[in-house]
Structure 1
Amino acid sequence: MVFRVLPRLSRTLRRAAAVAAATALAALGPAAPVRAAEAAPGLPHLNLTGAYVTGVSSGGFLATQLQVAYSGTFDGAGIVAAGPYDCGRGNVVDAAICLVGHGLPELEQQAVEWAGQGRIDPVGNLAGKPVYVYHGRLDPVVNPLVSDSGVAFYQDFGARVVYHDSDWAGHSWVSPQGVVPCGLTLPPFVNDCGDDPQREMLTHWLGHVDPPNHAAPAGTLTRFDQNRYTPGGSAPRLSMDSTGLLYTPPACAAGQPCKLVVALHGCLSGQYLLGDLFPRRGNLDTYADTNNLVVLYPQAVSSLVPVNPQGCWDWFGYTGPDFAVKDAPQLRTITAMVHALGA
């Protein structure tokens, strides 16, 4: 999840992530069964009545890109430890500049221009949509000015923003089921700060949520083939894993109306390192069981080509210059998954 590190530190963090994941997974308790197959199937078509997207770190940046580029598809967003749309600007130099909180007027103007050219959906779609933003006070990676800029970006286009920036949290996804102390930035980057940001986010999106299921998961976590949704049919060529994960409660599998949540992990946090830790400890599946939510967990992976050693989502252009518009290969892939599910 930490994307400003030297190569040697990156290798150290990858090893630490694997060790932390093994330790955490051994102590997790009951888990949803993961249904596997020799050849992973495609996604089921469900009775979906809306779609939302959330993510942390590079997944938070990608969630913004998805929600802005495809604002006609996504009804709301949850941005954790990230910043405004097109923050990476297509190269690491501009990405570094963005990470210290500069360039918001240019980013907003760029979004307006791209919308006028049809490269993203109309920015007017953002007006009135619920957006939840979370940023920890002890985040050593994303400057608070960057998170503030993301809030301002959405507000300037009329979105309804709730901003949680009061926790003394590190760079992480914060969950009541977190396995890392609140203020640290360490693998597996799922921290416990004694509160419940997922309830806040879902309540802001939906208006009301029922209490989560604290017992054994009622739904099923399944693996699906990501290759069939990618341009060209090869997910690894986009630094994406060959399989992704989908959590489906029994009611949704039986055809009842449900809503979809797309949840994007951060760097060094894909299933290739952490298995199903993010779904199991992220606190979304617990609400899915009691609120008729399907949760889609697309998966990124580390790669040499494109250059993505930490398994991040493309928030600065490693898949090409069109990484933030509707033609962006990762955005197209995930949106194809959303449409395949019925949203």
Structure 2
Amino acid sequence: MPRKLRSLLHRSLRPSSRPSLRHRSRAVSRGRSVAAVLAAAALAALGLAAPARAEAPPLPHLNITADYVTGVSSGGFMATQLQVAYSGTFRGVGVIAAGPYDCGQGNVIEFATCDLGLGVGTLERQAQTWASQGRIDPVGNLDGLPVYTYHGTLDPIVNPLVSAAGVAFYQHFGAVTTTHDRDPAGHSWPTPDGVVPCPLTSPPFLNDCGDDPEGEMLTAWLGQVNPPDTGAPRGTLLHFDQNAYVPGGYGPFLSMDTTGQLYVPPGCASGAPCRLVVALHGWISAQQLLGTAFADHGNLDTYADTNNLVILYPQAVSSLLPVNPQGCWDWFGYDGSDYAVKSAPQMRAIVAMVHALGG
């Protein structure tokens, strides 16, 4: 493993200097041995999957009343793709440290210049064309859509103009946008339970910037939310058989893990009406490397307990074929040319999970 990555992992996974907001009783990723983390990182660097877990159950069928999607980094680009392609399904989107729909244009290099070189107008026209062909849902569904975007001022990966292009894309189609772009944050998922200082871009990419973007995002979507739970988690974080929802039935062929994660509060498990939030991790952040860190520290489960939310955490995985050594979601075409439309295999898999849950 590169010395720099080893050093970053060691530093960023140290126990936090302040108490966790709520997950005191959960065996969180920061408590894993450094040896285990480094071993997982070595597998990821080689493009190899971690050993398969014991057989996992399918997803439960719940009383889901509405679906939302969010993500960070590659998961943020994927969240935009998923929401635009399936705009009839997802009623709101949260885009963290990412940019507009189809920004990759089939080439990972393009994301850094998709606004400067390609231009957001091209992306808008492409979406309109695909919608007219039935390859994505009607773009008219984006009118009035609540969209939350977050971009740190110290993000060294995604240009602020790319993030702004994502906002402009949605505004072009009449979406209602809320933008948080004032924090001196690195390339990360910002959370009050973060284990990385705000300015850094370092695994596990869960940064504490002294505010609560998850509360802002949920408020933008829902209008009003109850305060988060600051005690021990009430619900259950479980692993489920992700293969059951993947086209072809074997996730690693599509750079998807064989299992995913799901957080279910007790009321939702008992049949209460609940909303579903799909949360997509970023690069070098899947369970293959970081276990349940995103769920444990991402500050979504805290709101799930008090607002009847179910949180679905699909999992990508590092792979050599397709070429995806960092375990990114396919927002630029490594799984094929249809990666941004409804026939995209990874998006079909995630939507199948949503439907299985009742969404």
Deviations 1:125-163 (A, max 9, x none): 011110000000010110000000000000000111001
Is the CA contact 2:265–2:309 (under 8 Å) kept in the aligned structure 1? Answer: yes
Deviations 1:232-252 (A, max 9, x none): 001111111110000000000
Matched, 1:72 2:88: yes
* Structure 2 residue corresponding to 1:139, chosen from 152, 155, 159: 155
Percent identity, please. Answer: 66
* Structure 2 residue corresponding to 1:30, chosen from 6, 24, 44: 24
Q: Secondary structure at the match of 2:216?
A: helix
TM-score (norm 2): 0.88
- What amino acid does structure 1 have at the position aligned with 2:76? G
Long gaps (5+) in structure 2: 29-51
Q: Tell me how far apart the structure 2 counterparts of residues 75 and 189 of structure 1 sit (CA, whole Å).
A: 27
Matched, 1:301 2:317: yes
Q: Tell me how far apart the structure 2 counterparts of residues 205 and 101 of structure 1 sit (CA, whole Å).
A: 32
Is the CA contact 1:31–1:280 (under 8 Å) kept in the aligned structure 2? Answer: no
Q: How does 1:8-27 map to 2 (within 5 A)?
A: 11-12=2-3, 15-16=6-7, 18-19=9-10, 23-24=14-15
Compared with structure 1, are the counterparts of its residues 24 and 72 closer, same or farther at alpha carbon in structure 2 (3 Å cutoff)?
Answer: farther
Q: Tell me how far apart the structure 1 counterparts of residues 223 and 120 of structure 2 sit (CA, whole Å).
A: 30
* Structure 1 residue corresponding to 2:236, chosen from 216, 220, 224: 220
Matched, 1:53 2:53: no
How many Å apart are 1:31 and its aligned residue? 4.4
How many Å apart are 1:111 and its aligned residue? 0.2
How many Å apart are 1:37 and its aligned residue? 7.9
How many Å apart are 1:16 and its aligned residue? 4.8
Aligned length: 333
* Structure 1 residue corresponding to 2:245, chosen from 225, 229, 232: 229
Matched, 1:281 2:297: yes
Long gaps (5+) in structure 1: 1-7
Q: Tell me how far apart the structure 1 counterparts of residues 288 and 104 of structure 2 sit (CA, whole Å).
A: 25
Q: Tell me how far apart the structure 2 counterparts of residues 37 and 314 of structure 1 sit (CA, whole Å).
A: 23
Compared with structure 1, are the counterparts of its residues 197 and 44 closer, same or farther at alpha carbon in structure 2 (3 Å cutoff)?
Answer: same
* Structure 1 residue corresponding to 2:267, chosen from 230, 251, 256: 251
Q: Tell me how far apart the structure 2 counterparts of residues 325 and 219 of structure 1 sit (CA, whole Å).
A: 34
Q: How does 1:80-119 map to 2 (within 5 A)?
A: 80-98=96-114, 102-119=118-135
Q: How does 1:77-226 map to 2 (within 5 A)?
A: 77-98=93-114, 102-226=118-242
CA RMSD of aligned residues (A): 2.1
Deviations 1:71-91 (A, max 9, x none): 000000000000000000012
Q: Tell me how far apart the structure 2 counterparts of residues 202 and 191 of structure 1 sit (CA, whole Å).
A: 19
Deviations 1:48-86 (A, max 9, x none): 000000000000000000000000000000000000000
For residue 40 of structure 2, what is the aligned residue in structure 1? none
How many Å apart are 1:20 and its aligned residue? 5.2
